[in-house]
Amino acid sequence: MSQHVEPHEPIPPEVSVGPVGHLGARAENGFPHKTSRAKPAVSHRPETLNKTLGLGGIITGLGVTMRHFFKNVAREKPEVTINYPEEKIPYPERHRGLHRLMLRDDGAVRCVACMCCPTACPAHCITIVAEETGNGNEKRPAIFEIDELRCVVCGLCVEACPCDAIRMDTGEHAHVVDKRHNAILGKVDLMNTGIPSTAVQGGAVNWREEP
């Protein structure tokens, strides 16, 4: 097979015929590598009865399905199936679900209406109207709405939030609604699933003094 090949030499047609010993014949003529241009040797084996009726394949196939049948009868249910509404696969810990607004220790909303999240939001699904708390120069949201139909669940609002006010760790999907406006979650809806955050309000107190 490693003999030198003449590239422009035409192939004599008689070289390619004959299923027996054609390689040897070609090697003598010096064309061992030109098999792709030669006609392939066609097998003219007579079809066996087994091949004609396909009984072997049929029996193999029946064996496969029967094996699966008896395996599944012996089981309670097929092992790949999750009966969805009754059984659910637990989501990964960092799965982004429905939003929630975190609370301060006194139960007030943690959000300071800094507008970072509506700015970061690529889908423009967050609407915040700010108001003053009357406590110094602090703000809070008068209206905080998230349109869950618009939300693309990217999580950028959570990244943007400077005070751990918005999170997407509820593990819930957007709820099924029958009217579009029901998919818009207001401040109260978002706070209902919220919990007090463990982050210290206003950041660490003495961070300037720390080395």
Which of 36, 52, 137, 198 lies at the binding interface for another protein (CB under 8 A)?
A: 52
**C-alpha distances in Å from residue 27, one per residue of 8, 11, 13:** 16, 12, 15
Closest to 169 measured CA to CA, from 98, 116, 110, 120: 98
Alpha-carbon torsion (119, 168, 140, 164), positive or negative: negative
| Interface stretch with another protein, choices 20-28, 67-75, 91-99, 132-140 (CB under 8 A) | 67-75
Number of Cβ within 10 Å of residue 22's Cβ equals: 16
Binding of residue 68 to another protein (CB under 8 A): yes
Which of 1, 42, 74, 205 lies at the binding interface for another protein (CB under 8 A)?
A: 74
Binding of residue 66 to another protein (CB under 8 A): yes
Q: What three-state secondary structure class fits 156?
A: helix
Q: What is the nearest approach in angstroms of another protein to the Cβ of residue 161?
A: 43
Q: What is the nearest approach in angstroms of another protein to the Cβ of residue 175?
A: 23
Q: What is the nearest approach in angstroms of another protein to the Cβ of residue 46?
A: 15
Q: Which two tokens stand for residue 83?
A: 């009966």
Binding site for another protein (CB under 8 A): 52-53, 58, 61-62, 64-66, 68-70, 72-81, 83
